[in-house]
Chains A and B, each alone.
Chain A
Amino acid sequence: MLTLKDFQREEQPNWCPTCGNFGIILSVKKALMELNVPQEETVLVSGVGCFAKLPYWIKAYGFVGLHGRSLPVAQGVKLANSKLKVIAFGGDGDGYGEGGNHFIHACRRNVNIAYFVHNNGVFGLTTGQYSPTSKKGTKSKSSPSGSEEMPVNPLALAIASGAKFVARAYSGDPKGLVEIMKKAIEYEGFAFVDIMQSCITFGKEHDYFKDKIYHLDDSYDASDKVKAMGKALDYEETERFALGIIYQEL
């Protein structure tokens, strides 16, 4: 059986102390450990951004490519060798901005990979500009009077683009995050998880999410696509974020 220590590499993560990425990297390790996926059959693919350094700090096969391009690389890996467990990582700038087109088409193509997006609503590595998921009116270095664009709704976009596994998780909810990651990794097809995350330096504080998140309970029917679309959209009104599998085709 694998232990967390098996994933250890010589270098330690250099994210800002208490960054949400620590919760995410630990959850990735735990999910892989609990699923007992052989390390040599695990391929972690990322792009560019704070989140994108994750493969440097997990002992498995890693590929750190270009900004916004983790999805095409990850799909290429999986299509070339179906035995591998492939996880692609994105950020809100990387995955919903630069790589937005790849996201739509990965949803349609349904290659058997998992896609985890670290969504903190801000550009961290370029020191704090607003991002594609920033709320309209967000003031930042590049939007001193407030941003003018509507934010991307990643879950609704995924469902509309034909994704069959669409989930939301939160970096501050490690237990729930590990469970969703495990389901996504095990899912036979393209499994997308939007992971809400704080950015303690440039974005939302950890407490921001405290009163706004809730877990979907058993009464929620994730197979109803129309309802799922409603659930994906409702935070725009309610500012409350449902965590769990929002949509999964039966």
Chain B
Amino acid sequence: MKKDLVVRIGGEAGLGLAAAADILAKVFVRLGYHIYSSKEYASQIKGGHNYHTLRITNSNVSADVNDVEVLFAFSKDTIAKHYEFMKKKGIIFVDDSFNVNEEDNKNLVLIKIPVKKLEQELQEKGIVNALFLGAFVKYFGIKSSILEEVIKEFFKEKAGQGERNSKAAREAEKLVERVEEIEAHNNKFDFLSGNDAVTLGALDAGLKFHVQYPMTPVSAILHNLAKEAEKNKELKVMQVEDEIAVINMAIGASYAGARAMCASSGGGFALMIEAMGLASMAEVPLVVVEGQRPGPSTGLPTKTEQGDLKFVLYSGTGDFPHVVLAPANIEECYTETKRAFYLAEKYQLPVLVLIDKQLAESFKTLSFHDESRKLSIDFSKKYGVKIKLEDKDLRNGLFKRYQVENDGVYERTLPGTENGFYTCAGDEHDEVGEIIEEQEIRIKMMKRRMNKLDYIAKELPLQEIYGEKNAEITVVGWGSTSGAIIEAVERLQKQGKSINAFIVKYMRPFMSEEVGNVLGKAKKLILVENNYSAQLGGLIQEKTMIRFEETILRYDGKNFSVDELYEELKKKC
């Protein structure tokens, strides 16, 4: 395969689109291809118009492109909706009973499947996805045994259903001529969503307690972990009444010694804010995943946006330390979640992993084994947990848990530890957790807490520059838009433009000096964000006094494709 193959699967919710997308992706995983798969869907369970897009490539990518080569049309209006995105000579698999007219679809290849007839012959219903898949693999010269294996794996315990779908696929294969020949590669990939990567990162960091109230786009984290808890008896997973209970319960569990996490989207996180301050004040380790979707209020529940950056940075009463990490791709959803657990435990504070719908619910191939080695932290030990107490650790029988002189080492005892008593307090407190109002203690305690950000800044790695360091133009972005930025910039580099991309990953503590140095080298800066108000731009201006004259902003609920962003950037270069 020389170029990308983009397959789009569109139609009403409830017709089996997701199954078709998943099965097709796994066929290509077996063939050793890289895949980036995203979905667009409405906030309804049946009906509406949803579509999945699989970008099948020879290289590691994290973004959508525009040109669709193959369309599975599960409904008649699917063709009209996606016609403008179709490549010339693109192929459409469609039910022949839709009576799609060749005249209306010039330059396209229509492969009409007699769905009704086959359903009657096979005495089956709801097999249209299997029929399209069978026709597809034949057309592209993929061994039918691969499709059958994937179908079998997909239906697992429902063996009968797997067999019926395979049979339908075989029938459809008979109707189609082999036109292309897709070769297999020797790659072995895993296929994960951002939610999956967060889940695995948390489990590899020794997660023991997860609590969540379901909310798009991060419900899959709850589903993944609930399933994991069935076989892993050391893991407790709770679904509770609301997000206020979610975060307070996680804080309680973490205080008692369990590595704890919770997850939500912006609306749920809004309910957690008071307790973010509590975790920071009481110095309880906590990992919170925030999967952004467009707000305000209920907003666009199933779409994507990067509109919560300033919200998660500045929400809360008073000044308190918390960390905000923004993974730029699915690999980093894994590594940054692990880093979050490490920082939370070592520095006893809440750490937020900020993702969005585009990261959370898109899938891609990656070599998970390689990723898991990238960030090696020993999670078999607990950081900062004191087991034995000596006289010097105590004041009148209470543990000096909030000691002011600490050199960056923050220690706590877990309930159950002999002589380790202290009060874990949301009130301002002294070194043993006694409630206080004295000004000098208040000042010392504020410093003890706020100093954490300086210690953490020293532990964070450098953020990546894509391209020549001294390029004339630097494109700046963060999070899920990074994939499109990097590819669009690469295209411009190939045309000889002096351009690079800089992706900001650490929002708090913010690496002002590093960011200032990188951006200071460019003659021209272009900011790309999936929000209305250029929130990262505002943060950079606040921290470095660097202002962005050129911005490319999108806030219609969609992510940038590489092609769209390339065109926008070209105008500004």
Give the B-binding residues of A (Cβ under 8 A): 9-11, 39-41, 43, 45, 48, 53, 55-56, 59-66, 69, 71-81, 83-84, 101-102, 104-105, 109
Contact = CB atoms under 8 A, between A and B. Distances in A.
Nearest to B245: A72
A101 B241 contact: yes
A63 B417 contact: no
A79 B253 CA distance: 7
B421 to A, nearest CB: 6
A220 B294 CA distance: 57
A246 B527 CA distance: 65
B248 A65 contact: yes
A66 B416 contact: no
A60 B421 contact: yes
A101 B271 CA distance: 13
A61 B426 CA distance: 14
B275 interface: yes
- Most-contacted residue by chain B among A11, A80, A84 (CB, 10 A): A80
A4 B282 CA distance: 28
B52 interface: no
**How big is the B interface, by class?**
35 or more
Contact of B248 (A39, A59, A73, A83): A73
Contact of A63 (B209, B249, B252): B252
B240 A83 contact: no
A234 B417 CA distance: 45
A80 B238 CA distance: 11
Given A79-B236, A80-B236, A43 B421 contact: no
Contact of B255 (A63, A69, A101): A63
Given A56-B434, A77-B255, A80-B258, A69 B244 contact: yes
A4 to B, nearest CB: 15
B398 A9 contact: yes
B211 interface: yes
B424 A62 contact: yes
Given A65-B278, A69-B244, A83 B416 contact: yes
13 contacts: A40-B416, A40-B418, A40-B419, A56-B425, A61-B420, A62-B421, A63-B424, A64-B426, A66-B274, A77-B415, A80-B209, A80-B236, A105-B240
B249 A75 contact: yes
Given A80-B236, A81-B415, A61 B421 contact: yes
A43 to B, nearest CB: 5
Contact of A66 (B258, B414, B426): B426
Given A73-B248, A79-B253, 19 more contacts: A10-B398, A40-B415, A40-B421, A43-B256, A56-B433, A56-B435, A61-B421, A62-B422, A62-B425, A63-B282, A66-B248, A72-B248, A72-B249, A76-B255, A79-B252, A80-B208, A80-B209, A80-B260, A102-B241
Contact of A65 (B251, B397, B420, B433): B251
B434 A11 contact: yes
A9 B432 CA distance: 11
Interface string B424-453: 111100000111000000000000000000
Interface in B221-252: 236, 238, 240-242, 244-246, 248-252
Interface in B496-545: none
Contacts of B162: none
Closest 9 CB pairs of A and B: A76-B252, A72-B248, A73-B252, A80-B258, A80-B253, A76-B249, A76-B253, A80-B256, A61-B415
A63 B209 CA distance: 19
Given A73-B251, A77-B253, A81-B257, A66 B275 contact: yes
B57 interface: no
Contact of A40 (B249, B253, B275, B417): B417
A39 B255 CA distance: 17
B396 interface: yes
Given A62-B433, A65-B282, A101-B245, A76 B250 contact: yes
A43 B415 CA distance: 7
Interface string B90-118: 00000000000000000000000000000
A76 B396 CA distance: 29
B278 A66 contact: yes
A183 to B, nearest CB: 23
B372 interface: no
Contacts of B244: 69, 72, 101-102
- Most-contacted residue by chain B among A39, A41, A61, A105 (CB, 10 A): A61
Nearest to A69: B248
A84 B57 CA distance: 54
A43 B422 CA distance: 11
A154 to B, nearest CB: 17
Contacts of A76: 209, 211, 248-256, 260
Contacts of A105: 240-241, 245
B450 to A, nearest CB: 21
B423 interface: yes
Nearest to A63: B424
A43 B257 CA distance: 13
Contacts of A60: 421
- Most-contacted residue by chain B among A59, A64, A109 (CB, 10 A): A64
B240 A72 contact: yes
Contact of A101 (B238, B242, B251): B242
A12 to B, nearest CB: 12
A56 B423 contact: yes
